[in-house]
Amino acid sequence: MEAARTIRHAVEHVSQLRQALEDHPALGAAVGQVKRVQSQRFAGTYADLLAGGPYAAPARFFMTELYSDKDYAERDAQFSRIAGAIEKFFPEQVVETAVALAQLHALTEELDQAMALAWLAQEGDDASDARRYALAWREVGRRQDRESQLTVVLRIGQEMARLTRTTGLRVMLRMMRGPASAAGLGSLQRFLESGFDTFAAMAKRRGGAEEFLAIIERRESALLTMLFDSPLVACETELGRTLGQAP
């Protein structure tokens, strides 16, 4: 039941972080601003993919499910309810994906909250969102955690690609709709089906999934390196361009 323990620990950590936001509304608002900037940044970084072509759908999936500013409370609650049964309820092939998703969400929420604290510390400076974000990033640091965050994102993508090559799994997922809904797992079920269909369509193009994930890795790694190592003015300029803002 290692998967259950891992998921339960991740969900409990997110719950604690969320409680802190309820206790401090200003911090909650700052987290919302940080997430908004991150979602806009992703849209800017991948504007070419989102505009159309073979990678438009997977880019939208990543933006909606992994880089979005939307509230994942419903999915968290479902993870919490089924943590003890996930290895029995879901096919073995999807358990690792569910575990990775829970871990990613916990780490992301932790980093976003740390960013929000640094964001609040700049209140009244009248700086652009790009500058505030770059400054908050460097204040938080935690380079290894940032690299781990990207590693898990890529692993989820790799697992989704692998699942599409599992014979009969799509039929199995479709058959799970009723039981999943009855068990209160509709949100998790939708994530799995959406991810499967997105990567299955992309996999029809030889090497498509691998190429898409390589684009994600290349661009996100470049962003990570820039935010840690480049002069602050360069970070502000590049982020401002990506966000559609003047530095």
Comparing C-alpha atoms, which of 2, 22, 236, 13 is closest to residue 129?
236
Q: Give the model confidence (pLDDT) of 16-51 as tens digits.
A: 888 888 889 999 999 999 999 999 999 999 999 999
| Residue keyed to tokens 């935010």 | 227
Asked if 217 contacts 140 with a C-beta cutoff of 8 angstroms, the reply is no
Task: Give the mean model confidence (pLDDT) for residues 4-13.
Answer: 79
pLDDT for 29 equals 92
Predicted local confidence at residue 71, as pLDDT: 66
Chain position carrying tokens 């092939």: 93
187 closest CA partner among 39, 36, 41, 76: 76
List, as one string, the DSSP characters of 102-151.
Answer: HHHHHHHHHHHHHHHHHHHHTTTS---HHHHHHHHHHHH--HHHHHHHHH
Give the residue-averaged pLDDT of 135-144: 96
| pLDDT recorded at residue 150 | 94
d(CA 171, CA 228): 45
Tell me what pLDDT residue 240 has. 93
Structural domain spans, the chain:
2-243
What pLDDT is stored for residue 102 in this prediction? 81
* Backbone torsions φ then ψ of 245, nearest 5 degrees: -120, 150
- For residue 164, the model assigns a pLDDT of 76
Phi, psi of 207 (to 5 degrees): 75, 10
pLDDT value at position 130?
Answer: 93
Q: Among 116-125, 139-148, 177-186, which stretch is predicted with the lowest mean pLDDT? A: 177-186
pLDDT at 137: 97
14 vs 2: CA distance, rounded Å: 19
Terminus-to-terminus CA distance in the chain, angstroms?
50
Distance separating alpha carbons of residues 180 and 81, to the nearest angstrom: 12
Residues 108-120: tens digit of each pLDDT: 999 999 999 999 9
Least confident of 130-134, 144-148, 202-206: 202-206
Better-predicted residue by pLDDT, 144 or 5:
144
Q: What pLDDT, on a 0 to 100 scale, did the predictor assign at position 94?
A: 72
d(CA 172, CA 106): 28
E strand spans, 126-246: none
**% of residues, the chain, pLDDT over 70:** 78
